Chains A and B, each alone.
Chain A
Amino acid sequence: MGYSDRVMVVAIYVLLILLSFSALYPFWNTIVVSFNVGLDTAKGGITFWPRQFTWSNYEVFFSNRGILNAFMITILRTIIGSISAIFVTALVAYSMSRSQLMGRKYYTFYFIFTMYFGGGLIPTFLLINSLGLMNNFLVYIIPGLISVWNMIIFRTFFKSLPVGIEESAQIDGCSNMGVFLRIVLPLSGPVIATLGLFTAIAHWNDWFAPTIYITNEKLLPIQTILRRILNSNLINEAFGSGNIDSAMGERLAQKSITNKSIISAAIMVVSLPIIAVYPFVQKYFVKGVMIGSLKE
């Protein structure tokens, strides 16, 4: 290795470390602020370590009934939404992967067309409205049941499965549905994990759809609530006037909670599930990007 090569390698290492630092620091700083007494944070100077440690930001956050309800909504829609979407998408993809499917060419065009053209925000909004899905939990589930992109990835994967197994199952009297349920799905672990993961994260992170489709407080997911806390300057306003009573208001003052400290706790709680599963599933999503990038 020549001199210039060594300089380049050192520069690359330094840059990569700086980049990683910039990726991690915002999370770390948020953790620190979430464990520091709110009024103390407001004095400034909190960067790498808490100055006055406290749990109260989390206590107050979790003592709010609206928050716990919003968590339940998020968890429910993530579980129901991803399982149903993966099942339906895989089912359609399986059928599309069979060469004997009549009209396959037309179906393919019909699906792919929607990847390039769409109605847009407002026609979709008006449709959801006229379907009676406004203020309905099902608005989280039904429109997402099929994703053309995921369907194509599934189809590509199913096509790569050895045909022999399916044929022998069919000779033994297995119907197409039986082949799908008993043979194809069990063989598709990695691709189900990958696409399921992406679908679940999309459900977990969705904050925008509820802001336009849901006005009922009880159906709002946690991300939308967090956005609202972020938008307002007063904690009382953020938690919704119905959710906060005078006792709680006193407690907030007593524990010197500020808007910033409560938001930091909220960020940590909302992102923790993703951070926690993330290292274990990383290999799946890298694989997923690879499958997705394989063009037809």
Chain B
Amino acid sequence: MSQVKAKENFKSIPPKRRSVNEKSFLQRLWKQIDLQLMVWVGVLLIFVFSYIPMYGVITGFMDYSIFTGARIFENPWVGFKHFESFFNAPQFDTIMRNTLVISLLKFLIGFPAPIILALMLNEVRRRFFKRTIQTITYLPYFMSWVIVGSMVMSLLSTDNGSINIFLQTLGIIDEPINFLSERNYFWGILVTTNVWKDIGFNSIIYLAAIAGVNPSLYEAAEMDGASKFKQMYLITIPTIMPIIIIFMILQMGSLLNAGFEDILILAQNPSLRPVSDVIDTYVYRIGILNQRYDYGVAVGLFKAVVSIILLTSANYLARRTGNSLW
């Protein structure tokens, strides 16, 4: 349909000719109009679903009313009012602390874990064993947070929760602990669950990098009598360092991404909020559930700006080591 229409439009444009061989811009465009139309499908979709929301962040500087709809400029400008009220909000300190602590914990434990798994898998010589371990450890990655969260809750519950049964059998505790309603355990549970879910899948990339190491290096090292551990330390790790650094930069850019779905699912108990509330969950609760859209947009924008600064500076640091993203 649209192709036919475009054809008619183009017929009405008189062709300009500069010389016999040189075709005009429009003629060249016309010759590849089908290619252009294909790309415009994507351009249009991205415009609507990515660029319009970017433009929508200006509502963070307004007193926005949802009834204005697309006539966004009928809302009064208020400058940085919403940003200020976020900085002065009583929850601000808690939210910032939780965001930073949770993402740092996830980084400190979740980042090296798949590298260690890949290094361990690399030492396994039995192919069947190795493949089985890989298949099993990748599996949780493909489960939704609803599924993972349900299983974690079930394992940790006081009513036939396996963790409580296990701890009681060993005699470590006398009474079952209600793990998911006590603040002390929350960060540990959250980080462990994340590592459990992602460790296998995230190790794939490092395994691939390790597979690219020149085998003659190991042979030479063995001749010189280097132990396996030394080979790992002196050959494998230095060779995969560039990949490790690239992934580290990516992680630093998301320092304010403490998590969202995992926290929504695992911290259902509102009494956990002092340890579980992070920027993203706060934006969701205040912005969508309480419908303070303008305020929520402002908080989200604050986070986006800080993230960009972090990513850019991490990349700057990495460029000095010669491993930058861009």
Contact = CB atoms under 8 A, between A and B. Distances in A.
Given A146-B45, A260-B157, A47 B120 contact: no
B245 interface: no
B248 interface: no
A183 interface: no
Interface stretch (A57-65, A158-166, A205-213): A205-213
Nearest to A42: B159
Contact of A91 (B38, B46, B165, B300): B38
A119 B38 contact: no
Nearest to B138: A282
Interface in B214-254: 227-229
A107 B301 contact: no
Interface string B47-72: 01111111111010000001001100
Contact of A47 (B133, B165, B308): B165
B182 interface: no
A107 B280 CA distance: 31
A9 interface: yes
B301 A102 contact: no
Interface in A1-30: 1-2, 4-5, 8-9, 12-13, 15-17, 19-20, 22-27, 29-30
Interface string B198-220: 01110011001000000000000
Contact of A122 (B133, B155, B264, B293): B293
A286 B208 CA distance: 10
A207 B154 contact: no
Interface residues of A, number: 99
B172 interface: no
Interface in A221-235: 223-224, 226-227, 230-231
B20 interface: no
A117 B59 CA distance: 17
Of A33, A122, A274, the most chain B CB neighbours within 10 A belong to A122
Given A8-B229, A289-B205, A19 B53 contact: no
B35 A29 contact: no
A289 B203 CA distance: 11
Contact of B147 (A96, A124, A231, A271): A271
Nearest to A44: B160
B297 interface: yes
Contacts of B287: 121-122, 125
Nearest to B143: A271
Contacts of A270: 144, 146-147
B43 interface: yes
B137 A114 contact: no
A20 B146 contact: no
Interface string A238-263: 00000000000000000000001001
A117 B54 contact: yes
Interface size class of B (residues with CB under 8 A): 35 or more
Contacts of B160: 33, 41-46, 260
B196 interface: yes
A123 B146 contact: no
Nearest to B58: A123
Interface string A131-166: 100000000001101101001000000000000000
A260 B159 contact: yes
B151 A267 contact: yes
A279 interface: yes
A274 B120 CA distance: 27
A2 to B, nearest CB: 6
B297 A26 contact: no
Given A9-B228, A92-B39, A126-B293, A119 B32 contact: no
Interface string B283-326: 11001100001001100110110001001000000000000000
A118 B165 CA distance: 46
Contacts of B57: 119-120, 123
B234 to A, nearest CB: 15
A88 interface: yes
A24 B140 CA distance: 9
B268 interface: yes
Given A4-B229, A9-B123, A289-B205, A278 B159 contact: no
A111 B70 CA distance: 24
A107 B229 CA distance: 48
Contacts of A44: 159-160, 165
Contacts of B227: 2, 4-5, 8
Given A26-B151, A88-B45, A282-B135, A117 B304 contact: yes
B59 A123 contact: yes
A22 B165 CA distance: 15
B120 A20 contact: no
B32 A100 contact: yes
Interface of A: 1-2, 4-5, 8-9, 12-13, 15-17, 19-20, 22-27, 29-30, 33, 41-47, 88-89, 91-92, 94-96, 98, 100-102, 107, 110-111, 114, 116-127, 129-131, 142-143, 145-146, 148, 151, 175-177, 180, 201, 204-208, 212, 223-224, 226-227, 230-231, 260, 263-264, 266-267, 270-271, 274-275, 278-279, 282, 285-286, 289-290, 293
9 contacts: A5-B228, A47-B165, A119-B50, A126-B66, A205-B146, A207-B144, A260-B160, A271-B147, A282-B138
The 4 closest A-B pairs by CB, nearest first: A119-B53, A123-B56, A92-B42, A205-B144
